[in-house]
Amino acid sequence: MKHRTEIRDYHAPIWNEPVIMEMGSDGRRGLIFRKTDQKIFDELGDAKKLLPKGMFREEKPGLPELSEHEVQRHYLHLSQETLGMMGISLFGTCTMKYNPRLNEIVAGRSEVAETHPLQHEETLQGTLNIIHNFDLILRELSGMDNFVFQAGGGAHAAYTHCCLARSYHASKGDLEQRNEIITSIQAHPCNPATAASAGFNIITLPLGENGYPTLDALKAAVSDRTAGLLINNPDDMGIYNPNIKEWVKIVHDAGGLCFYDHANFNGVMGKIRARDLGFDACMYMLHKTFGVPKGGGGPAVGAYGCTSELAEFLPSPVVTKSEKSFNLDYDRPNSIGRIREFWGNVPQVIKAYSWARAMGANGIQEAAEISVLANNYMESRILKIRGITKSHPNISGYRMEMTRYSIEKVTADTGITVEDLSNRMVDFGIDAPWLAHHPWLVPQPFTPEAGECYSKEDIDYWIDVVEEIISEAYENPEIVKSAPHRQPIGKINAALLEDPDHWAMTWRAYIRKKSLKKKD
């Protein structure tokens, strides 16, 4: 079969856009506020006079001065200097999706954008209704009894769970003793990190031969100190742990709680339920699986659901439904309180609800099937490319919605690394793929995830580009090594980013360090 399509002659826009701190000219204005009403001014007078002594800011903030149009064009240029899924992005673990524009339009309307979370609940019945309906949808998908949306991302939902676990064990009087959380080296770093931030000690299980930790390793780890288990399944290599029910039982028998990090839900949506597997709680990322935009790293939502046994500890408020209305329940004495102000990224919950309604049960199951099919299709092609292998090649059979690959052999043969590959891929208008979380268990890894939103032609093109780059690596490695060539800027000097004499997280710091260097 001939796969190769013509490689596009892509080039990113280059604006040589200056940093805004250097733009504009004295006295220009981008936004003007009305002058204080004369009557008010006459009664109150200057701000300087009003403020406590010594609290008035005498000098003007050192901000640039630009006209409205200049600001608009500057940031439009910056958006154009961002590849941002304009081509194809198969960024594994993040489940890249089309974000329906309708949802942006609806969430941008005043019924959502111009509402305050402390308005009387009578005036927010529409929003509360949608949140409740979406809670019901997630209950059906997971088997859990109650969902909340305060968590501003997946990691934050893991943190929420750890806070619940503290309160749960404290209520039983054994928090002091139960201070250990068990996880796997293949779990997202946020699992051990949030558990540690919540005060727990961490036990990390290594992987066994089958690609997941062994039952024996888990049995050796549990004890009367076990507070719980935080685990994902399938993992980022597309491997599903078939012993997960036994895992849950072992942890429960030891007195711990089991949290299902459902970051990799896309391949199993409508196929399995966290509750059926015995879990006490789970988390879905609405900005990944449920079609909500990622915003380059949020605003995001980690929808957190748990069984009725844990519900009393959920953060407040919880949206409830009475006969006549939807309500916010703040009166929950055993709640962990707040993990973030208010009740979550409401527009994102509305977008997720809209996505779920557009998909329906059939669409959701179809998406899971297409994403697993597309991944295995990719695998069949990618493994034919010279020098590319997959993780745990000993494990035969189909992977779930992701496969982790390695170009270790290519690196040994040509010196080309996955970073080089990433830098070269963007020259073809394709977003660099996800590599792997640290520590790298597989050398020179990359992890694409096809999902359901890209066509077979897109997927083929993506693979064609990888194939093209690998043949470049063998025939003309310099072009890969020196990439990118068709992006707004060249390869950055990463060493300076870690050097206190050079790093500059603000323009002020940059100017200060530059002038110090001049003096040297």
Within residues 129-148, the interface with another protein by CB under 8 A covers 129-130, 133, 137, 140-141
* Cis geometry, peptide bond prior to residue 61 (ω within 30 degrees of 0): no
Taking CB under 8 A as the rule, does residue 281 contact another protein? no
Distances (CA, A) of 80 to 86, 425, 454, 462: 10, 18, 22, 21
Within residues 161-220, the interface with another protein by CB under 8 A covers 163, 166-167, 170, 175-176, 179, 189-190, 192-199, 202, 204
Collapsed DSSP state (helix, strand, coil) of residue 146: strand
Point out which span in 217-225, 407-415, 471-479, 498-506 binds another protein (CB under 8 A). Answer: 498-506
Within residues 413-432, the interface with another protein by CB under 8 A covers 422-423, 426, 431-432
Site string for another protein, 233-262 (x = CB under 8 A): -x----xx-x-xx-----------------
Within residues 63-102, the interface with another protein by CB under 8 A covers 63-66, 68, 71-72, 74-86, 89, 91, 94, 96-100, 102
Closest contact distance (angstroms) between CB of 384 and another protein is: 11
Within residues 345-404, the interface with another protein by CB under 8 A covers 345-350, 354, 356-367, 369-370, 372-374, 376-377, 379-381, 397-400
End-to-end CA gap in the chain: 63
In the complex with another protein, which residue's Cβ is closer, 146 or 343?
343
Closest contact distance (angstroms) between CB of 480 and another protein is: 14
Among the listed residues 246, 217, 229, the one whose alpha carbon sits nearest the alpha carbon of residue 180: 229
Spatial strand order in the sheet of 281-285:
146-148, 302-306, 281-285, 257-261, 226-232, 180-184, 201-205
| The binder of another protein chosen from 224, 253, 476, 503 (CB under 8 A) | 503
Closest contact distance (angstroms) between CB of 216 and another protein is: 20
Site string for another protein, 7-46 (x = CB under 8 A): -----x----x-xxx--x---xxxxxxxxxx-xxx-xx-x
In the complex with another protein, which residue's Cβ is closer, 380 or 412?
380
In the complex with another protein, which residue's Cβ is closer, 109 or 249?
109
Rounded Cα distance between 292 and 344, Å, is 14
In the complex with another protein, which residue's Cβ is closer, 146 or 288?
288
User: Which DSSP letter does residue 136 get?
Assistant: H
Closest contact distance (angstroms) between CB of 285 and another protein is: 8
Among the listed residues 378, 396, 390, 398, the one whose alpha carbon sits nearest the alpha carbon of residue 466: 378
Within residues 304-323, the interface with another protein by CB under 8 A covers none
How many other C-beta atoms are found inside a 10 Å radius of the C-beta of residue 381?
Answer: 17
Residue 440 in tokens: 């790298």
- Name the residue type at position 324: K
Point out which span in 214-222, 386-394, 405-413, 495-503 binds another protein (CB under 8 A). Answer: 495-503
In the complex with another protein, which residue's Cβ is closer, 64 or 256?
64
Taking CB under 8 A as the rule, does residue 440 contact another protein? no
Distances (CA, A) of 7 to 3, 429, 469, 472: 12, 10, 11, 13
* Cis geometry, peptide bond prior to residue 317 (ω within 30 degrees of 0): yes
Instruction: Let me know: does 371 contact 266? Beta carbons within 8 Å.
Output: yes
Distances (CA, A) of 158 to 136, 303, 339: 21, 10, 11
